[in-house]
Amino acid sequence: MHTAPILSLDHAEIGRSHRVAALVPPAHAPEWGPWLEQIGFVAGEPVRVLSRALLGGEPLVVRIGQSTFALRRAEAACILLKSEAA
């Protein structure tokens, strides 16, 4: 059985469906973990990148459940994903 590699949201392809696997906030900003959970980034939730800014790819426009957010790349890098089955 082949398991898809886990990647972070900042590297996710635009439009591709994923599920949140885990949150790993950076040591310099541990408060990002609880904040991301509060706005809906919890394990198992469906997530997809809708768009990125042209220069630098920041912010990312992200759909989590029924909500849409703009995240900085550093925030999106905290969100680990698993791909949806094709």
Q: For residue range 3-49, list pLDDT tens digits in order.
A: 555 799 999 999 999 999 999 999 999 999 999 999 999 999 999 99
3-state secondary structure of 48: strand
Does 17 map to a domain?
Answer: yes
Output the pTM of the full model: 0.86
Does 73 map to a domain?
Answer: yes
Does 42 map to a domain?
Answer: yes
Q: What is the CATH number of the domain that holds 74?
A: 2.30.30.90
Domain count for the chain, please give it.
Answer: 1
- CA atoms of 38 and 35, how far apart (whole Å): 5
Domain that holds residue 23: 7-83
Beta-bridge partners for 83 = 18
* pLDDT one-digit tens code per residue, 39-74: 999 999 999 999 998 877 789 999 998 999 999 999
